[in-house]
Structure 1
Amino acid sequence: DETPLRGVMALPPAHCMTVGRDNLRIWQYFDIDPSNKLKFRDDREYADGFLEVFTKALTARMRANGIIGTDLSGGIDSSSIASLARKLLNDGPVNGVDRIEAFYLNFPDPESDERRYVKEVVGKWGLPLHVAEPTLAALPDCTAEVRQHFHLPSYPNGAMARGLMCEAAALGIRAHLGGSGGDEWLSGSSRYLADALRGMHLRSFIRRWRYDARYSPGPSLTDELRRAIVPLLPRGFRRAIHRMRGDNPAATLLDPGFLKRSGLSERIEKHRQRYPGLSLSDADFHSGFADAWMLHTFEMEERMASSVAIEPRYPFHDRRVIEFAARLPEEQRFGDRRPKEVLRNAMLGILPESVRNRLDKGEFSHVFIKTFARYGGDFFESMEICRAGWVRPREPARMFREALDFHRRGERAFLEHIWPLAFIAAVEIWFKVVILGSERDRFASQELCA
């Protein structure tokens, strides 16, 4: 519920606020219960139940004046939305919509090129397809964005869709469907490794471990094993291990004095959610329901889309879909050697088989490296937030050089650095504009909360 301004609070997810003459009341109006599992007879019943709920969610978000846009990346999430929407329109207009236009970001990089899958979806349903080039934001673009919204600029993986949104707006599109939410609610939890180990479900453990090793771009096998074992240890042991390993990235990046002044560790601990009685996987699912990071990215995506008068809509984030997914057994979220089992089964006959059964997905982290390069070679070398005592001097430059070296050698270790660098870059640009730049007087009466 915190914001960058002290005393200015955000309403938490699923909460309502009423303001009366003498009081202010905030209460939670909606929650999920992952422990109340659905018990259908077989995979087909789970798939049919999901398809019914998902169709309602999609139909509700297709309300527009004649035309609606949709992302089509070639992945299973956006392909499911585009295909099902086109299928619904075959029976006539839906909520005022009689036409759907698909949009694809064209990346020449082999790890991001999904044109083969996109063509199969387009061919199956006859979808009009618009191909846009990804946008690599330059510093003037980021500065202009901060001046407009007085907030952090878009991260590279969000800014890359700016040109696509502009093209959609030029076609008269005012509502655009996106696939966000499929990963969050239907992919299963990485904590399942610990659940499987605790329950001695060794075959399930090995299948999941092998999948993560092959298709997850980040952790090593050692990291995966540690992630399976550490959550099963007593809480005091876990804290000791994290301290010994230096698992707090904030302590590595942020100035020790700043950490102490801001009380960051205490504030994080204060807001940490705990869910006694739930499995580790279900607790992980529930924590995502009120995830601050998800809300932060939503706000950024909506700001960018609204700048060209488009409303982004996400069927997978429909309350009915979330409630259904929460009650799924874990094997329906991550089935026999593959994630999103229930979605894959629900899309039988709707998606091309090559898309429905694909296990890999496009990898777009190179966009971060290319964007940082556009900022200029000395951007991370001399930073105002280091001089202000927020970030350790020389640490951003070291991290950037290391990420660049890993990327040039084709080592995926660079992935560990891209998000810390993205955060540092965004705060630096914001700091220069709002604190040091021409907009500082507008915030003179506000107290910044680090």
Structure 2
Amino acid sequence: MKTQTELNWLDSQHDRLERTEVLAWDGRLDNRADLVVLLTDSLRGNTSNAALARAAYARWGPSGFVHLIGDWSVVIRDHANHTIVLASDFAGVRPLYYHVQPERVLWSSRLQSIVDATGICELDEQYVRGFLLFGGCPNRTPYRGIYSVPSGHAVCVSSEATKVHRFWALPNGDEIRYRTERQYEEHLRALFREAVSVRLQTGSPVLAELSGGLDSSSVVSMAKHVIRRGASCTTRLTTVSYVWRNSLDEPFIREVESFCGVEGVHISADDQPIITETQVGNATPEAFQPLRTSIASIANTLGVKTILTGMNGDLMMGNWFDDSLQVTASLRQFRIGRAFEEALAWSKILRLPVYSVLRRAIRAALPPSLAPAAIYAAPDGSSMPKSTETSLVPAFGDRTAHPEAESFFSDAWMQARPERRKHFRSLTTMLELRALQPPEPLQHLDYTHPFAHRPMVEFLMAVPPDVLCRPGEPRRLMRSALSDLWPLKLRTRRSKGLFNAPWQKALRPLAHILLKASQLYLVESGFVDRTSVFSRLQRLSSGLDCNESQLRQIILLELWLRNRADGRLSGQALRAA
């Protein structure tokens, strides 16, 4: 989908044969056969993806987009209502940006194209705060006035107003209960097979990311299984993996490659750092640009059009160290004895007093208006950084605080059952940040995620949490349903290597560079405190605790702004308001 500039989009003087027309379509539909049957009276022989999207909108309006399952973005002109409609799938996988002016609306699937077309050079401070705290900001870009279409929403632009219409909502109230564990396993297995299969309907070779963890290994193994059975159009599958010195993942990566009989390409994170001083993203600040540029080159060499990932697997498959809020389900049913047994089991795993687990569960079981949201936001894991320092200047935080809520994110997840609010909150954050959107070097490819297959997401979010995870048994359902896809060595794996070593190797030289800088853009703009940032950079250089995960965001954004100011990136330098 290239940049589109729609001039005089309110002009309706000419009679139109069609009330609606598709101006741009980008994506893949996974339920085409169902849609053709459902919309056959409106298609007039044209069954292209764009025609299906137009027919759904023509029949039901923006709400009709809920029937489109897949990764997609679409722009439609509604002549009858003098409106331009921009919409994106429930997970926001396909990028779509827009900018509204008095006499026109501009949109593009490439952010840099719309930046070049508008010449906007003012920094969106709301985005800056969100990026420094969360790695992004819902519906915003670094450029003031250029927005991202929210996932699962349609943006309707007319001469009177710009309205945002939600067409997909979190399945908060849904609950699936089967009589036997076997039924859950069979349902998950069928949905996962479908999730992978629909993404293999391409005549080109397919590339699959392989980290050696259970999620990416499951995708690779299922993809190979589907190809062997002749249920896909592609016949060639290649894996690509990041490796580094003393990586715990590399033996598992090689084991999966051998088990599936696939060729694997390994990219060294020692030779290609996660970020460098000049490789920090183009239109937006992004880590991993050197590595993803290498993947793009590999894809080009192999003729690849589709890349499969294991992203979203941790959340969907219940990879929780602490999911003790499950106890609230028994409390709400006044099954006190069972609640105590569950709390005792979790207390042993978490090494917490049983009363502490029960107290949290009791508070979480309160109605949404009374339950403290912070309970559901507690980090998951046995090891957390001691430092929570962010270095944000208080005055900056005050002027960019959300006017209606303390959070950047919507709170619809609070309407879910208490034992599932934590999971819905995580899903909300991921979707609203469009975390599944392809990175810039890979935006020309079908960068897609089987664990974000909507039917499977809706199923797993409705399954009782103790089916997915129990004390000391994360990924419980996944292991019982999919383990036969894995080599024996992987079946016994209980932990996964992290990118900590490559991150530290990449960040320490950058910390030295910034410590020697005469000034920092983020400091001069009043975003972060100089003393705090320099202290943390020094601690990072010395290998001391500094809340590294958040300091990464500061370093990344600082370098990105410096590169734009120095003219190393296309576009103008950005200035604070």
**Cα deviation per residue 1:104-138 (whole Å; 9 max; x = unaligned)?**
222223xx322332233223221222222122045
The DSSP-based 3-state class of the residue aligned with 2:206 is strand
**Cα deviation per residue 1:233-291 (whole Å; 9 max; x = unaligned)?**
788996999xxxxx9x9985111222223235866437441545533342222223332
Deviation at 1:229, TM superposition (A): 3.0
The DSSP-based 3-state class of the residue aligned with 1:113 is coil
Q: TM-score, normalised to structure 1's length? A: 0.79
Q: Equivalent residues in 2 for 1:256-271 (5 A)?
A: 256-263=394-401, 268-269=406-407, 271=409
Q: Which residue matches 1:410?
A: none
In structure 2, distance between residues paired with 1:328 and 1:297: 24
The DSSP-based 3-state class of the residue aligned with 1:27 is strand
In structure 2, distance between residues paired with 1:322 and 1:27: 22
Q: 2:229 aligns with which of 91, 96, 103?
A: 91
Structure 2 counterpart of 1:45, one-letter code: Q
Is 1:3 aligned with 2:141?
A: yes
Q: 1:276 to 1:402 in 2, by over 3 A?
A: same
Deviation at 1:355, TM superposition (A): 1.6
Is 1:128 aligned with 2:260?
A: no
Point out the structure with the larger strand share: 2
Is 1:45 aligned with 2:191?
A: no
**1:191–1:280 Cα contact (<8 Å) kept:** no
Is 1:179 aligned with 2:310?
A: yes
In structure 1, distance between residues paired with 2:245 and 2:471: 33
Higher relative contact order (CA 8 A, sep 6+): 1
Q: Which residue matches 1:101?
A: 238
Q: 1:375 to 1:318 in 2, by over 3 A?
A: same
The DSSP-based 3-state class of the residue aligned with 1:363 is coil
The DSSP-based 3-state class of the residue aligned with 1:61 is helix
Q: 1:45 to 1:209 in 2, by over 3 A?
A: same
**1:122–1:129 Cα contact (<8 Å) kept:** yes
In structure 2, distance between residues paired with 1:126 and 1:8: 46
The DSSP-based 3-state class of the residue aligned with 2:205 is strand
In structure 1, distance between residues paired with 2:423 and 2:396: 32
Deviation at 1:15, TM superposition (A): 0.6
Deviation at 1:50, TM superposition (A): 0.6
In structure 1, distance between residues paired with 2:497 and 2:142: 33
Q: Which residue matches 1:369?
A: 504
In structure 2, distance between residues paired with 1:159 and 1:281: 40
In structure 2, distance between residues paired with 1:193 and 1:203: 12
Q: Which residue matches 1:218?
A: none
**2:243–2:266 Cα contact (<8 Å) kept:** yes
Structure 1 counterpart of 2:473, one-letter code: R
Q: 1:384 to 1:6 in 2, by over 3 A?
A: closer
Q: 1:278 aligns with which of 390, 398, 416?
A: 416
Point out the structure with the larger helix share: 1
The DSSP-based 3-state class of the residue aligned with 1:35 is coil
Q: 1:46 to 1:423 in 2, by over 3 A?
A: same
Larger displacement relative to structure 2 (422-431 or 376-385) = 376-385
In structure 2, distance between residues paired with 1:311 and 1:212: 40
Q: Which residue matches 1:155?
A: 287
Larger displacement relative to structure 2 (38-47 or 190-199) = 190-199
Q: 1:417 aligns with which of 516, 526, 547?
A: 547
Q: Which residue matches 1:324?
A: 459
Identity %: 17
Deviation at 1:441, TM superposition (A): 11
Deviation at 1:177, TM superposition (A): 0.5
In structure 2, distance between residues paired with 1:98 and 1:344: 28
Q: TM-score, normalised to structure 2's length? A: 0.63
Q: Rg larger in 1 or in 2?
A: 2
Q: Equivalent residues in 2 for 1:72-83 (5 A)?
A: 72-83=210-221
Deviation at 1:176, TM superposition (A): 0.9
Root mean square deviation of aligned Cα: 3.6
**1:5–1:447 Cα contact (<8 Å) kept:** no
- In the alignment of these two chains, the number of paired residues is 414
Q: Which residue matches 1:399?
A: 536
Q: Which residue matches 2:35?
A: none
The DSSP-based 3-state class of the residue aligned with 1:269 is coil
Any gaps of 5 or more consecutive residues in structure 2? Answer: 1-138, 376-384
